[in-house]
Amino acid sequence: MLSQEEVKELLHSVNDPFLHRTLEETGGVKEVNIKEEKKHVSVKIGIGKTNTAEQMQLQQEIVGILKKNGASTVGLRFEQLPDEVIREYQPAAEEEKEKSLLGGGKHPNFIAVSSGKGGVGKSTVTVNLAMSLMRLGKKVGIIDADIYGFSVPDMMGVEERPAVRGEKIIPVERFGVKVISMGFFVEDNSPIIWRGPMLGKMLNSFFKEVEWGDLDYLLLDLPPGTGDIAMDVHEMLPTCKEIIVSTPHPTAAFVAARAGQMAIKTEHEILGVVENMAYFESKKTGEKEYVFGKGGGKKLAEVLKTQVLGHLPLQQPYEEEDEFAPSVYQQDHPLGKEYHKIAAKVVAKVEE
């Protein structure tokens, strides 16, 4: 029959599924008790996160090992490891998880742009923030994952489809920013209900099968709201940071707060709030009119314990034609300047 020491020895090489360290390293083998006559082994195991599917798998693995080595019955209890142990190993574990998603290589800063509801300018902000980051010398990619409307290609004037080289998809490049949109791969008329369950899988292949090259920033235009999709992203990209877009109306801010609470719950850092359609500036008098109310962004930032990154004015419909797509603001355009400030704040926060 197994001795206490032998049981410990056997379990020491088992991996904690969250911390990606052996139970020996984490000190996860907490207690071992043996009842010789009944060949019963009971163990208490500490892991990074309890009550998950991974715990179930680990349970089977441990029972299997102990039975193979002579135990007739196994009693198994799990507990969460102390916070300081989790804190020590978790950041590295998260990075490893994301690295494996992107197949090694340098790993970009992920920023999810989200909003409580549709139509507040989330895609507009994503595209222009990407452009401003690029102008700051960063290598930038966008994943357009808003299944309710893939607006990024249109906003950037992308007409071509991505090329495929060998096993890899090559993102479309526009104004120096790499773009992949769910819309490239979905039939125009396929119902949203069908797109929903596909999203997780699609996102996964966007990371694994797209040749992003070396990126500094990968922005994700997420569907509005706090649904499963946002949850998927949070699970898949634990280091992903978040920007919340809202309008200045206090009710809109309230809705957006729920999207933000989700980020807080999953321990994602919120970089800040962008208040869009904040005011209308009269060209004649320069006077500002607060068409959609005032103060929503500030209130939202307070609730989410973060800062307001910028206030973007309401724009009149596009007038002049030039090399840029209608929703992409040039560097010297007043909105281009505002986005530049927002991008600079983002870089400062992310790379501090």
Ligand X SMILES: Nc1ncnc2c1ncn2[C@@H]1O[C@H](COP(=O)(O)OP(=O)(O)OP(=O)(O)O)[C@@H](O)[C@H]1O
Q: Which residues bind ligand X (CB under 6 A)?
A: 115, 118-124, 146, 148-149, 151, 224, 276-277, 312, 314-315, 327
In the complex, least distance from residue 278 CB atom to ligand X, rounded to whole angstroms = 8
Ligand-binding annotation for 100, yes or no, is no
Quick one: DSSP state of residue 98?
H
**Cβ of residue 342: shortest distance to ligand X, in angstroms?**
13
Least separation in angstroms between residue 149's CB and ligand X is 4
Q: Does 246 count as an annotated binding residue?
A: no
Coil/strand/helix, residue 68: helix
**CB closer to ligand X, 105 vs 118:** 118
**Residue 227 annotated in ligand binding:** no
Of the pair 119, 334, the CB lying nearest ligand X is at 119
119 is in an annotated binding site: yes
Q: What are the backbone angles phi and psi of residue 246, rounded to the nearest 5°?
A: -145, 165
Tokens of 55: 């715990």
| Residue 295 annotated in ligand binding | no
Q: Cβ distance 158 to 127 under 8 Å? A: no
> In a 10 Å sphere around its CB, with 0-12 CB exposed, 13-18 middle and 19+ buried, how is residue 304 labelled?
buried
Q: Least distance in Å: CB of 133 to ligand X?
A: 17
CA angle 316–319–325, rounded 5-degree value: 95
- 40 burial via Cβ count (<10 Å: 0-12, 13-18, 19+): middle
SS3 assignment for 192-209: HHHHHHHHHHHHHHHHHC
CB burial of residue 201 (10 Å; 0-12, 13-18, 19+): exposed
Shorter beta-carbon distance to ligand X: residue 14 or 277: 277
Minimum CB distance to ligand X, residue 153 (Å): 12
Rounded to whole angstroms, the Cα distance separating 99 from 147 reads: 25
Task: Tell me the C-alpha distance between 106 and 93, whole Å.
Answer: 16
- The nearest distance, CB 194 to ligand X, in angstroms, is 18
- Residue number, 62 or 125, with CB nearest to ligand X: 125
Nearer to ligand X, 29 or 127 (CB): 127
> Closest CB to ligand X among 115 and 306?
115
Residue closer to ligand X (CB basis): 78 or 175 = 175
> 188 in helix, strand or coil?
coil
Confirm or deny that 85 is annotated as ligand binding.
Answer: no
CA 277, 122, 325 angle in degrees (round to 5)? 85
296 is in an annotated binding site: no
Task: Find out whether 315 and 108 touch, Cβ atoms under 8 Å.
Answer: no
48 annotated binding-site participant: no
Min dist. Cβ of residue 229 to ligand X (A): 12
Binding site feature residues for ATP: 116-123
Binding site feature residues: 116-123
